[in-house]
Amino acid sequence: MFFTTDVRAGYMEIMVEGDIGVEDYENAVRANEEVLASNDRVNVVAVVQRVGTIPLKLWFRDLKYVMSRLSRFGRCAMVTDKGWISPVAKIFSALTSVEMRTFPLVDLEAGRAWARGNQTQA
């Protein structure tokens, strides 16, 4: 997993390409907190190419973290060819205030533009 941030724009992009360990997770949380320190909300692009192993304790830790910051997430673009992610994203979006959309990997740039607020419809 690796990520990039644009603190000024309130934007973070995460790339998932395999296993996610504690250090990966903690680095991502620190980056997210850095964006939130200068912005009311963070817009996120999560590019999921391959999901590897993730320790169960990180699933629960992430759920707790996300729920504690829920009102601070703006748009979240899930960019992936993994078919199971789209229905999960739709359910999460329907149950929360987070605006989520999924994009296929070939439409990464459209997902980035939408998450940044440069595009309202794809």
Q: pLDDT value at position 121?
A: 45
Alpha helices in the chain (DSSP H): 22-38, 56-68, 85-95, 108-116
Sign of CA dihedral 73, 78, 82, 87: positive
Half-sphere exposure of 61 (CA within 13 A, CB side): 13
Residue 122 has pLDDT above 50, yes or no: no
Domain ranges within the chain, ordered by starting residue: 2-116
Neighbours of 45 (CB within 10 A): 24
pTM of the model: 0.87
Give the pLDDT confidence of 46-74 residue by residue, as tens digits.
999 988 899 999 999 999 999 999 999 99
Task: Please check whether residue 39 is in contact with residue 10, taking contact to mean a CB–CB distance below 8 angstroms.
Answer: yes
Question: In angstroms, how far is the first alpha carbon of the chain from the final one?
Answer: 27
